[in-house]
Structure 1
């Protein structure tokens, strides 16, 4: 049984709805994904292209002769990945409205994995709303720290 999940870019220009069969997600560590996102890995949900509906068509970057990546040219949010000739696609976990629904179950491109970033649970941490300078910046524009 699938569940309908929505998401989109940071500025809200690009929105989508996806029929999700399970909360299973994966991390991709390949160099192309690292370069495309500027991160050490990217979390994806894989689904059939037919299960994804764009409310507004995203911009597309052909990252290689065999693949393309949807994104928002207004705010720069990476939204996914798909092979040009494939039936499935990936959507970025972070672009879903409820990203916490998803659970990582596998990894891909591990030849480029940066193991120093694999387990960060024991590192010191701070909530955004506990960072005084950030809270003050938001207060100056009459807002609170976004979630």
Structure 2
């Protein structure tokens, strides 16, 4: 049985709801995704295009002759990846309001994988909400630090 989940961009201009059947997600390491996101990899979950309801249609970047990427032109949030001639698409796991459901089940584009970034276990960790410099910046801005 599918659950309806919601998500969107950082500024809130683009919002979506989608029926999700499982918890599967994957990490894409291809150079196109690395360049499109400015990251070493990106987490996606695959959904039927017909299951995605956009409250506001995202902007689309034609990232290659065979695919496009939905995003928000205002805040720059990457929302997914799609081949125009296919009935499915990927949504970025991090754009979901609650991405904690998803679990990685595989890797794609491994020819460009940066293995040093896969297992960061044991590196020093710091919470953003306990970093005083950041807390002070938010306080000076007159707004609350995002959760």
Fold-level match, TM-score > 0.5?
yes
Match of 1:70 in 2: 70
Partner deviation per Cα, 1:117-137 (whole Å, 9 max, x = no partner):
000121101000111100000
Give TM-score scaled by structure 2 length. Answer: 0.98
CA shift, 1:139, in A, is 1.0
SS of corresponding position for 1:86: coil
Q: How many residues align?
A: 147
Partner deviation per Cα, 1:71-108 (whole Å, 9 max, x = no partner):
00000000000011111000000000001111111110
Match of 2:134 in 1: 134
Give TM-score scaled by structure 1 length. Answer: 0.98
SS of corresponding position for 1:111: helix
CA shift, 1:141, in A, is 2.1
Match of 1:61 in 2: 61
Contact 1:128 1:145 in 2 (8 A): no
Structure 2 unmatched runs, 5+: none
CA RMSD of aligned residues (A): 0.7
SS of corresponding position for 1:26: strand
In 2, Cα distance between equivalents of 1:25 and 1:13 = 25
2:26 maps to 1:18: no
Contact 1:15 1:56 in 2 (8 A): yes
Match of 2:123 in 1: 123
Match of 2:110 in 1: 110
Structure 1 unmatched runs, 5+: none
Match of 1:80 in 2: 80
In 2, Cα distance between equivalents of 1:143 and 1:55 = 26
